[in-house]
């Protein structure tokens, strides 16, 4: 593996990761113990706390570090070929296609391929916080926060959701989701080649994820009720 220095700026105001790294080998990638991966997860957690104080520097650090990680992985032909393979899929029978790149106790890194005309329904990320960056195409992201839910824990309970501002993401734009705020999301591809790079921490949530099916349009207060159903396949 060839050693290189991908960033030589002397501006350390954002505590950017040291990007003197070893070029990645083939998949599955091994990011464990790598400072760039550890910094990304740390910035995700810090951004969620800082957002309540309007500290946007933390959010900028997440997007910047996620972009650095993408550029690092682009040094691998396996990563490049995977992106090309995902773009080539027509998705005629799918809402999305996902590929896990790396996972450990800190979190999970994955690629999500979206298809125009088949939006990913509203879904949650129980106990997780994270970020998504468009690396190809463009995407519209709907975001909701649970306002209240029924006491019943059975199948198909009704919950009330607060609508957060929608985001339109073009290449290298990033959006965050927290453990509470904006944890429920719907995704819609705006271009045929839309792919997202997604990090979430921690990653052990697959048996708990739910879909949310709106029962009406959001009212003037941006609030709506939705049916909450356990998901069979995690996003």
DSSP 2-36: -EEE-------TT-PPP-EEEPP-SSSP--TT-HH
User: Where along the chain do its domains lie?
Assistant: 94-230
Q: Where are the beta strands (DSSP E) in 17-119?
A: 20-22, 96-103, 108-114
CATH code for the domain defined by 94-230: 2.60.120.10
With beta carbons less than 8 A apart as the criterion, state whether 63 and 132 touch: no
What is the value of pTM for the model shown?
A: 0.84
pLDDT digits (tens, 9 = 90+) for 67-122: 999 999 999 999 999 999 999 988 767 789 999 999 999 999 999 999 999 999 99
Lowest mean pLDDT among 31-45, 50-64, 118-132: 50-64
pLDDT at residue 152 above 50? yes
Both tokens of 154, joined, read 């059975």
- Asked if pLDDT for residue 11 goes beyond 70, the answer is no
In angstroms, rounded to a whole number, what is the distance separating the alpha carbons of residues 95 and 160? 25
The pLDDT value recorded for residue 230 is 84
Q: What are 179-219's pLDDT values in tens digits?
A: 888 899 999 999 999 999 999 999 766 668 899 999 999 99
């Amino acid at each position: 593996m060839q050693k290189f220095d991908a960033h030589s700026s002397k501006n350390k105001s954002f505590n950017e990761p040291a990007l003197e790294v070893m070029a990645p080998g083939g998949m599955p990638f091994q990011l464990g113990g790598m400072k760039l991966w550890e910094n990304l997860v740390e910035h995700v957690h810090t951004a969620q706390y800082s957002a309540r104080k309007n500290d946007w520097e933390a959010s900028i650090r997440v997007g910047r570090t996620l972009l650095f990680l993408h550029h690092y992985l682009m040094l691998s032909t396996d990563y490049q070929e995977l992106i090309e393979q995902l773009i080539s899929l027509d998705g005629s029978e799918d809402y999305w296609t996902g590929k896990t790149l790396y996972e450990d106790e800190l979190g999970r890194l994955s690629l999500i391929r979206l298809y125009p005309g088949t939006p990913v329904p509203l879904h949650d990320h129980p106990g997780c916080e994270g970020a998504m960056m468009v690396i190809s195409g463009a995407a519209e992201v709907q975001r909701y926060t649970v306002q209240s839910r029924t006491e019943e824990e059975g199948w198909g309970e009704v919950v009330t959701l607060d609508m957060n501002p929608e985001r339109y993401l073009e290449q290298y734009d990033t959006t965050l989701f927290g453990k509470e705020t904006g944890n429920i999301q719907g995704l819609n591809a705006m271009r045929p080649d839309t792919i997202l790079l997604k990090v979430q921490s921690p990653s052990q949530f697959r048996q708990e994820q739910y879909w949310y099916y709106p029962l009406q349009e959001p009212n003037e207060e941006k609030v709506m009720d939705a049916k909450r159903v356990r998901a069979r396949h995690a996003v």
